[in-house]
Every structure is written in C-alpha cells, then in structure tokens.
Structure 1
C-alpha cells in the first residue's frame, strides 16, 4: 500500500512538474540597449527581439515605460513556440539634453511573467551636434521654412483659444519632424500632432493661442525640429480684451458698438 501511495505521489509530482514546464519561455537577444550619442529632436528607436523557447504560446499583456518620454510598442499576436516577437522602445529626445537611462517592463504569460528592458544614451543639443557635422552632413539635414513668421489675431477675448495655420515646407534632404513647441507665455500648443514632412513637400501646422492676459500681446513661439541648423521662431500678436460683448461696449458717434 505504501508503495502504491508513493507511486501516486511521485506521479502527481511529475505531472505538476510537467505542467510547470508547459509554458512559454521569453528569451530576449539582449535586455539593454545603449544608443550612445543622440541628436536632440530625434526619436531614438530600438526593437528588442525575443524568441519563445518554451512549449506554449506567449501573449504579451502589457509593456509599461518608466516615463512618458518613452513610448513602447510590441507584438500583439500570440508568439508560438520557436517563433520570434519584438518589443519596441521609442525615446523622445526633444527638450531633454543630457544622459538618460530608462526602463520598459514587459508583462506576459511566460514562465517569467515580468521582464525589465533598459535603454540609455546621451542627448546632444543642436549646437553640440552641429559642431560635429561636416558641411556635407549638414547639407543633408532637413530644413524648416515657414510661409510667414508673424500672425496677428486682432481683437480676441481672454480665455478664447483661436488658432492660426502656418504652411511649413521642408527644403532639406531628409524627413522633417516637428517636435516640441514653447512660448514666452506658455499659452501656445499644436492643435494636432504634426506628421513628418518629406523633402520638398509642405504641410500645414495649426497652432492654438490661449492668451489670458489683457492688453496688446506679442508672444514669441519656438518650434523645435530635427533641422540641425537651429530652431524656428515666429510671433503671435493679439489685442486681448476682457469681454467682447456688452461689458466692452463703447460709444462711437453716439451709437453703442462692440469694442474694436
């Protein structure tokens, strides 16, 4: 009887062991990627490749970056035994000069349910990059050209968010990628995320102006991009009033008219 019980126990342990082994095994080619020096304004991108060396399909449930500056992507379909998949890490270097070291956590149904991948590098600002480029390399840079550098909204009410459309042309040799936008008032932003502009092509960029201060306003806006010759600046102007309706009426020739 003891022999039979021992046999059942051994068989049970074997089945548990085999069940534990019947899982996908997620094996990455490497778990750390060093970008080295990265030019500010570029999107540093790396694909971590992995193989399922187990006996069951692997499904990646989620990929979480350690900061909002890193945007992950991954293979969404089940990765069968013996097949390959990928996890992509995209680091936005816009406005982030200096050394970076970020992680991406991969969660799956593999035998090891959580794997941490790392990316690192050093973002060089445009002046640093420009100093290292030869004239021939600089000539290959994208070039951002605006149809105009000033837009006047005229009279607007504080709190409104009018928009202005600018035509951007890429007169360079590589795709032009518009990135961070900044202003002296911290009140300007993109209405939509600009798409890359091919060499020789043009695109329309729409800026939203949310100035709340009262008076004659003139705000300088800086558009960053991967144009190695420098950032691009434009000026937004407006005469901002508190209220364009009844409280801002004035008398003109004895007749009440909107303030203008």
Structure 2
C-alpha cells in the first residue's frame, strides 16, 4: 500500500513539474502584438503640445460689481493642430472665450477670460477648464481676486 501511494505521489510530482511550463508575459507577445504596440507608441507623439504664458492670473484688489478681464496666451508647440473644443468657467461669473479655430503648430492665440465680481465679496479663486486634443485632453487655468464689498468700495484717484 505504501509503495502504491509513493508511486502515485512520484507520478504526480513528475506530471506537475513537466506539464506546468512557466511562460513569462514577454514569451506570449506575438509579432502582431509588437506591431500594435509600435503603432500605439507612435500615436503618443501625434498630440499637439500646449504651452501657456501663465496658468494663474491675480486681479488683485477689485471692487464688488467690477467686471475684469485678462488674456491667457496659448501656444501650440506640437506638430499637429491644437483644438480647444470647449471652455467652461467654474461658475457663471467666469466666462472664457477660446479661439474659434485650430491653432497651427508654432502659432499662438488668446483666450480671453472675464470675471464679474457682482455678489462675490472677499477672496475669490475661479478656474477655467479647457477641453483639448492634447494627450491629457484637459487643461486648467486659474484666476484670483480679492473683492472689496460694495459697502467698502475702493476709490481710485484720477
């Protein structure tokens, strides 16, 4: 009985060690897989490269009710057209105006952003989110202001 059990155990060990050949992930890659990986890697370089003159604009101290504007310059440092398909402010008081058409490689275009401080006293920080055809697909700009309330409006000398 013991001989029979030992024989079965030995047979099981032999079968397990010979039938379970270890394969690494690299062994499973075919020529088609390698071609697909090469195409995917080459597509990564097809995106436009976006650069801004600034990512944040601080309006400083402004009076409640003032509508202030700033311009962010965007440059396409890539080799294909840069497209800004959508631009949204974080609230209705922040309105971005992106370029209408594509930004060609090597060129720049303005993004005008206005901020209406009516009903917004105190420290303000708003964002503008751009939907683009860059690798990340999204870019964010920021504006800041310290809004003096109506009852304490700053006066400017002329």
Alignment of 1:63-142 (within 5 A): 63-126=87-150, 127-130=152-155, 133=156, 137=157, 140=158
Q: Which residue of the partner structure matches residue 11 of structure 2?
A: none
Deviations 1:99-137 (A, max 9, x none): 11111110011222111111111012353402xx4xxx1
Pair 1:24 & 2:48 matched = yes
Deviations 1:47-100 (A, max 9, x none): 111111111101111101111111111111100111112222211012322111
Q: Is the 8 A contact 1:38 1:124 kept in 2?
A: yes
Structure possessing the higher radius of gyration over alpha carbons: 2
Q: Which residue of the partner structure matches residue 49 of structure 1?
A: 73
Matched residue of 1:129: which SS? coil
Gaps of 5+ in 2: 1-29
Aligned partners of 1:68 and 1:128: how far apart in 2? 23
Q: Is the 8 A contact 2:50 2:82 kept in 1?
A: yes
TM-score by length of 2: 0.72
Matched residue of 2:154: which SS? helix
Q: Is the 8 A contact 1:26 1:111 kept in 2?
A: no
Aligned partners of 1:86 and 1:119: how far apart in 2? 15
Aligned partners of 2:40 and 2:120: how far apart in 1? 50
Considering fraction of residues, name the structure with more strand: 1
Aligned partners of 1:9 and 1:29: how far apart in 2? 41
Greater RCO between the two (CA within 8 Å, min separation 6)?
A: 2
Q: Is the 8 A contact 1:26 1:112 kept in 2?
A: no
Alpha-carbon shift at residue 12 of structure 1 (Å):
4.3
Structure 1 segments of 4 or more deviating over 6 A? none
Alpha-carbon shift at residue 11 of structure 1 (Å):
4.9
Alignment of 1:142-161 (within 5 A): none
Residue-pair matches, total: 129
Deviations 1:131-156 (A, max 9, x none): xx4xxx1xx4xxxxxxxxxxxxxxxx
Considering fraction of residues, name the structure with more helix: 2
Quote the RMSD (CA, aligned, Å): 2.1
Aligned partners of 2:57 and 2:86: how far apart in 1? 20
